[in-house]
């Protein structure tokens, strides 16, 4: 690549990562706690027990704080698309337009109407209407997430579109292919279910603080019981969708799967590394080779998870970079060559238009509509921006450790939920070891949630759109100084918001649940 300002790329990526990760500190609690609040209120409406009203109103207050501090932080990502990532924004064309427009309308409708009823409507609207509003806030918030994740799913596995060489944009040819993209569906379900887990961990953790302080015992016990049932149920669902995601990633992003497992040389009957510590063993020929200093393997499980066959071949980094004839894996060198043919066709098209060579222009325009050309060449378009195949490999240790952190914490949280449920049923929630672990479970859930996004986003590098557009091609020609300035502005602003959230929430938690009108 010529004339690339590495500093601009690195700072733009750092800025996007910073804003996305801060934004994600607020989102998952909203996704899950709204459903739990709706369930609590349903119990209150069904039983008429005022204790459940008190529980509902307290967690609603916590949700309100989280929502108020977090709302609109995601819009900054859209600013960044237009300023820092203009080539990308243009190239994605109308693929993002439809989902994000639906998201905007849904979010606005939900936020302005049903949240207002939720907070202002106690004693002003009927119980049934208030309850319906609480459910609609939960459903609306999660549907909002659907459209964002459909857009993200398309970046991981671009489908349902065709590239238009006249406009340099991808145009949607099948909305349903984009919506039901397996990458989008798996990502949506895995994301919301894991967010439900985070919310359950949060509710159990805060309740544990009350029990340790010997306060609000009935409130805390009921909250823990509901949180543990919710937690157990959605841990199972998260495992199931994670398992489905493994197959999706194995098919559409095999390099990401290899990085997640630190798998350099592909193998049949591939084991799953349950725990491992990597050390660098790279040479000039094998720059990404890592060896395990310590490893705990489960035989055949990776083959089974990836292809539902315990003896299936799972390609490693080496197989994907260099190709593997036995398993019909095309080398990156070949994909670079094919990508160059597709890019040359775009270059020729540009010149034909400028020189008004109508015959050639028509011929090349038809080429970009030809399924064989798309499948054989355009599919590899993004590879043309690389000369060295080894540059098309993500950061393996970062992806590996993020993935194993997410999964490891997931299992600790499952233990907390099962233990919480068992202790709730036995009426032994004063167990100090459990209460301490439950409190630690809160930050752990946030770490796991952020780690999940790190797997998804670092694991797919160097692509901003898988196989079509590398990250460094997506960038705008702007000054890196401006990006550095805004990076620090965001860092200060978001840290301020986080401190405000923690302070306000801590104050409300200290005050505790009570019947009040707000």
Partner 1 sequence: MNILKKVFLFYYDGFRGMTYGKKLWFIIGLKLFFMFVILKWLFFPNFLKTNFKTDQERSEYVIEQLTNN
Distance CA 40, CA 50 (A): 11
Q: 314 and 303 in contact (C-beta within 8 Å)?
A: yes
Q: 235 and 417 in contact (C-beta within 8 Å)?
A: yes
Q: Which of residues 317-346 bind partner 1 (CB under 8 A)?
A: 343, 346
Closest CA to 396 of 320, 307, 337: 320
Exposed, middle or buried, 409 (CB in 10 Å: 0-12/13-18/19+)? Answer: buried
Task: Assess whether the previous peptide bond of 438 is cis (omega < 30° from 0).
Answer: no
Q: Which of residues 88-107 bind partner 1 (CB under 8 A)?
A: 89-91
Count, residues near partner 1 per rule CB under 8 A? 54
Closest CA to 431 of 442, 443, 419: 419
Smallest separation (angstroms) from partner 1 to the CB of 62: 11
Smallest separation (angstroms) from partner 1 to the CB of 482: 6
Considering Cα of 420, then 426, then 430, then 434, what sign does the dihedral take? negative
Distance CA 205, CA 193 (A): 18
Smallest separation (angstroms) from partner 1 to the CB of 508: 7
Residue (383 or 400) nearer to partner 1, CB: 383
Q: Is 476 in the site for partner 1 (CB under 8 A)?
A: yes
Q: Is 486 in the site for partner 1 (CB under 8 A)?
A: yes
Q: For partner 1, which residue of 76, 145, 396, 407 counts as binding (CB under 8 A)?
A: 76
Residue (108 or 120) nearer to partner 1, CB: 120
Distance CA 364, CA 376 (A): 15
Smallest separation (angstroms) from partner 1 to the CB of 178: 21
Residue (87 or 286) nearer to partner 1, CB: 87
Token representation of residue 91: 């190239």
Q: Is 65 in the site for partner 1 (CB under 8 A)?
A: yes
Q: 436 and 393 in contact (C-beta within 8 Å)?
A: no
Distance CA 212, CA 204 (A): 12
Distance CA 21, CA 461 (A): 17
Residue (82 or 299) nearer to partner 1, CB: 82
Smallest separation (angstroms) from partner 1 to the CB of 68: 4
**In residues, how long is the chain?**
518
Q: Is 481 in the site for partner 1 (CB under 8 A)?
A: no
Q: Is 502 in the site for partner 1 (CB under 8 A)?
A: no
Task: Name the DSSP letter for residue 278.
Answer: E
Q: Which of residues 105-144 bind partner 1 (CB under 8 A)?
A: 116, 119-121, 124
Q: Which of residues 171-200 bind partner 1 (CB under 8 A)?
A: none
Q: Is 23 in the site for partner 1 (CB under 8 A)?
A: no
Distance CA 217, CA 356 (A): 80
Interior angle at CA 243, CA 237 and CA 248, nearest 5: 120
Q: Is 296 in the site for partner 1 (CB under 8 A)?
A: no
Residue (53 or 343) nearer to partner 1, CB: 343
Smallest separation (angstroms) from partner 1 to the CB of 332: 18
Residue 233's CB: how many other CB atoms inside 10 A? 15
Segment near partner 1 (CB under 8 A), from 79-87, 267-275, 318-326, 422-430?
79-87
Q: 162 and 369 in contact (C-beta within 8 Å)?
A: yes
Token representation of residue 331: 């080398």
Q: What SS3 class is residue 397?
A: helix
Smallest separation (angstroms) from partner 1 to the CB of 348: 9
Smallest separation (angstroms) from partner 1 to the CB of 342: 11
Q: Is 357 in the site for partner 1 (CB under 8 A)?
A: no
Q: What SS3 class is residue 469?
A: strand
Q: For partner 1, which residue of 43, 64, 182, 365 counts as binding (CB under 8 A)?
A: 64
Q: Is 426 in the site for partner 1 (CB under 8 A)?
A: no
Segment near partner 1 (CB under 8 A), from 135-143, 230-238, 358-366, 504-512?
504-512
Token representation of residue 363: 């011929």
Residue (222 or 367) nearer to partner 1, CB: 367
Binding residues for partner 1 (CB under 8 A): 1-2, 4, 61, 64-65, 68-69, 71-73, 75-76, 79-80, 82-84, 86-87, 89-91, 116, 119-121, 124, 165-169, 343, 346-347, 350, 385, 473, 476-478, 482, 485-486, 489, 493, 497, 500, 504, 507-508, 517-518
């Amino acid at each position: 690549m010529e004339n690339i300002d590495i500093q601009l790329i690195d700072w733009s990526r750092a800025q996007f990562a910073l804003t996305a990760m801060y934004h994600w500190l607020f989102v998952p609690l909203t996704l899950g706690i709204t459903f739990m609040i709706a369930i609590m209120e349903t119990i209150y409406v069904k039983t008429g027990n005022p204790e459940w009203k008190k529980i509902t109103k307290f967690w609603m207050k916590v949700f309100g704080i989280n929502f108020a501090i977090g709302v609109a932080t995601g819009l900054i990502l859209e600013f960044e698309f237009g300023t820092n990532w203009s080539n990308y924004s243009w190239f994605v064309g109308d693929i993002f337009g439809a989902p994000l427009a639906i998201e905007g309308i849904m979010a606005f409708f939900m936020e302005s109407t049903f949240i207002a009823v939720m907070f202002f409507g106690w004693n002003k609207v009927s119980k049934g209407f208030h309850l319906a509003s609480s459910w609609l806030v939960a459903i609306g918030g999660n549907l909002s997430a659907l459209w964002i994740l459909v857009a993200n799913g398309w970046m991981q596995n671009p489908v349902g579109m065709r590239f238009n060489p006249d406009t340099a944009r991808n145009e949607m040819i099948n909305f349903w292919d984009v919506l039901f993209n397996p990458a989008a569906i798996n990502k949506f379900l895995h994301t919301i279910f894991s967010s439900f887990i985070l919310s359950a961990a949060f509710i159990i953790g805060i309740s544990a603080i009350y029990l340790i302080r010997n306060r609000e015992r009935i409130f805390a016990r009921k909250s823990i019981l509901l949180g543990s049932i919710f937690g157990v149920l959605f841990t199972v669902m998260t495992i199931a969708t994670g398992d489905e995601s493994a197959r999706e990633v194995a098919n559409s992003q095999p390099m990401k799967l290899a990085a997640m497992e630190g798998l350099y040389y592909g193998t049949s009957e591939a084991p799953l590394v349950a725990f491992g510590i990597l050390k660098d063993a790279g040479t000039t020929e094998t720059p990404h080779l890592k060896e395990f200093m310590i490893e705990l393997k489960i035989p055949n499980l990776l083959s089974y998870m990836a292809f539902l066959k315990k003896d299936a071949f799972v390609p490693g980094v080496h197989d994907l970079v260099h190709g593997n004839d036995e398993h019909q894996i095309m080398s990156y060198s070949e994909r670079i060559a094919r990508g160059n043919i597709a890019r040359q066709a775009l270059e020729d098209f540009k010149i034909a238009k400028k020189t008004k060579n109508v015959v050639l222009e028509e011929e090349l325009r038809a080429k970009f509509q030809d399924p064989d050309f798309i499948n054989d060449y355009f599919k590899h378009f993004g590879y043309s921006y690389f000369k060295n195949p080894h540059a098309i490999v993500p950061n393996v240790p970062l992806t590996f450790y993020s993935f194993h952190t997410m999964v490891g914490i997931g299992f600790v949280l499952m233990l907390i939920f099962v233990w919480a449920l068992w202790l709730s049923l036995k009426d032994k929630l004063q167990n100090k070891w459990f209460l301490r672990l439950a409190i630690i479970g809160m930050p752990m859930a946030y770490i796991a949630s952020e780690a999940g996004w790190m797997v998804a986003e670092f694991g797919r590098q160097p692509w901003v759109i898988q196989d079509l557009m590398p990250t460094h091609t997506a960038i705008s020609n702007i000054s890196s100084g401006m990006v550095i300035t805004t990076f620090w502005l965001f860092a200060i602003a978001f840290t301020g918001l986080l401190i405000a959230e923690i302070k306000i929430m801590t104050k409300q938690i200290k005050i505790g649940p009570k019947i009040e009108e707000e």
